Amino acid sequence: MSERSATSLEGHQEDAAVVEPAHDENHQDVESNLLLATLILMDAPESAYPCCVRHQVRMAAKPPPMPKDHDDTQDLTPSGFVPQGFPEGKVTYRGKNSNVDASWITIGAWPWGDTATWHWDDATERGPLKQAWQILLKKGVNHIDTAQVYGSGESKRICGELVAGMNQNDFVMRTKW
């Protein structure tokens, strides 16, 4: 570490201890990370960041895709398990003209049809999903959360298949746009 004079973003001279990064194949990454850490610690506006660092900050905000070998079943409980501790029956959402009764548990449909993030494989997953939906309905779970952007719209198409032929009062479909 060496002592030298550094100029802050506001143009003031400061004495600062500067860590000289090791010179190896990761030298540029180390310098970028040190610069990013310094700017964050100084609470600098994003416009002060060099273009490459602004790109790193934006990219860090996006989650990486799920690995293709991710085991979705590792955290599942046995099929006969029914959670305890939530009220019996349904939750009632009051509406202007009528109320809507939904299950206390909502099924999130983000992964359905999403090949980019969740590596959805229609050939192997749609059949088991339909079977799971029938089991959920028998257990009283009738509430699905979906959106137009999930799977580029494929999630909504799959949801439509799941509820096809059902009375519209027997399920709740929550969506966003």
Indicate whether 158 pLDDT > 60.
Answer: yes
Q: What is the pLDDT of residue 105?
A: 87
In this structure, the strands spanning 143-145 and 13-18 are unpaired
Mean of per-residue pLDDT scores for the chain? 74
- Alpha carbon distance 87, 15 (integer Å): 62
Residues for the chain: how many in total? Answer: 177
Strands (E), the chain: 2-7, 13-18, 91-93, 100-102, 106-108, 143-145, 172-174
Q: What is the pLDDT of residue 68?
A: 84
Highest mean pLDDT among 13-22, 36-45, 103-112: 103-112
Q: What is the pLDDT of residue 86?
A: 55
Bridge partners (DSSP) of residue 144 are 107, 173
Q: Residue type at 93?
A: Y
Closest to 15 (Cα-Cα) out of 6, 23, 28, 24: 6
Which has the minimum average pLDDT: 65-74, 80-89, 98-107?
A: 80-89
What separation in angstroms does the CA of 14 have from each of 5, 20, 46?
6, 17, 21
Closest to 152 (Cα-Cα) out of 116, 98, 108, 100: 116
Q: What is the pLDDT of residue 12?
A: 43
Indicate whether 5 pLDDT > 70.
Answer: no
CB 172 within 8 A of CB 102: yes
Q: What pTM value is reported for the model?
A: 0.51
Q: What is the pLDDT of residue 51?
A: 61
User: Residue 82: which residues within 8 A CB-CB, separation 6 or more?
Assistant: 139
DSSP code, position 19: P
Find the mean pLDDT for residues 97-118: 90
Q: What is the pLDDT of residue 11?
A: 46
Q: What is the pLDDT of residue 87?
A: 59
CB 53 within 8 A of CB 45: no
